[in-house]
Structure 1
Amino acid sequence: MRLFVYVLEGKDWPVKDSYVKLQVGKFKSKTRVLKNTTNPVWNEEFVFRVHDMEDELVVSVYHHDDDSGFFIVSGDLVGRVRVPVWSVAGEENHNLPPTWFSLEKPKSHKSINQDCGRQAEASPWSMIKSLSELRQHIVTLLDLFTPACGSVARGNKYYLQL
């Protein structure tokens, strides 16, 4: 079976330069990088060969890092969505109409500041070994969340339309 995937657009993302990686089973692909927009529009089509109906379409959104120089380095994960292949095959005409998906945020210790796109390492308190490390950590967090930069609202969702 072939699975056609259309990556249409993203909405209200916390980063301006982004791309999408897609994977079904062992097959992978990715979109082009769109720069300077928090509402990217790709309108790109991908075709995957599906061997197992239990596979998932894994769609991951990444922040593109221009500072990587000559080396191609994956950026920071913004979020991802998983769509079971069987759920698409079960639809009328084996077709899922354009749908907005809410991205699952990464389960790491990094957070992306929605307004600035800068990052803060959110170290677990148990990893901070000295008072000076604690002060530095607090100063870094305060610097990122100053009024000039804006504050991060908890519970924000980022969306991708497929």
Structure 2
Amino acid sequence: MDSPSSGGGGGFGSSPKEAPKSSSLMDSLLGLLRIRVKRGVNLAVRDVRSSDPYVVIKMAKQKLKTRVIKKDVNPQWNEDLTLSISDPDLPIKLTVYDHDTFSKDDKMGDAEFYIKGFVEAMRMDLHGLPAGTVVTREQPSRQNCLAEESCITWTDGKISQDLCLRLRNVECGEVELSLHWIDLPGSKGL
């Protein structure tokens, strides 16, 4: 039987394998997630007969936004926003706003999604699979904001995922996104 003083290695906090505290962002960074904000579908009307929508995406302390599309409830943004990913378990929050010139911007709904399935697919060895192979499917549920089934696909040596998110806390609206991973030299990687 090992006692704490017999060198059996069972002591608390005294393990020589304790990881040093990292001060560098690159040590904890897994890579970058490029989110293509494609378009909004049937967004809520917040001005007279229309809205001036834009999208804000948040993850932890990061906050990114698209440009404003004037007078359009079916806007086409086709804009890339890039998040630094160090914890793939955190939710990514999306909020649509109506831009107002003389007052506070009106909220036009929100959604959130997780990239855990996307990251798990990234960790698989998929080389040699034919282009367009569906790696996994995510179904709409009460736990996510998916409006329809979302496929994680292997194409041209990369993983991608298209999402159609149903907005919450609003009478109508969906936002379509596409996810792509960017590996960084020197990052922890997947």
User: What secondary structure, in the 3-state scheme, does the structure 1 residue paired with 2:161 have?
Assistant: coil
The structural deviation recorded for 1:54 is 1.3
Q: Give ranges in structure 1 of 5+ residues lacking alignment.
A: 107-155
Identical counterparts, % of pairs? 27
Structure with a larger share of its residues in helix: 1
TM-score, normalised on structure 2? Answer: 0.52
Question: Match for residue 70 of structure 2?
Answer: 35
Pick aligned residue for 1:51 from 74, 78, 86:
86
Does 1:103 find its partner at 2:167? yes
**Which digits, 9 at most, give the CA deviation of each residue in 1:20-62, with x for residues without a partner?**
0011121111000101111000000011111112111111100
- Checking the alignment, whether the CA contact within 8 Å between 1:25 and 1:50 is kept in structure 2 is no
Question: Match for residue 125 of structure 2?
Answer: none
TM-score, normalised on structure 1? Answer: 0.61
Number of matched residues?
108
Structure with a larger share of its residues in strand: 2
Does 1:86 find its partner at 2:101? no
**Alignment root-mean-square deviation, CA:** 1.8
- Which structure would you say has the larger Rg? 2
The structural deviation recorded for 1:88 is 2.3
Mapping 1:1-162, distance limit 5 Å: 1-15=31-45, 16-68=51-103, 73=104, 75-91=105-121, 92=135, 93=154, 95-105=159-169, 156-162=171-177
Which runs of structure 1 show a deviation greater than 3 angstroms over 4 or more consecutive aligned residues?
Answer: 91-96
User: What secondary structure, in the 3-state scheme, does the structure 1 residue paired with 2:162 have?
Assistant: coil
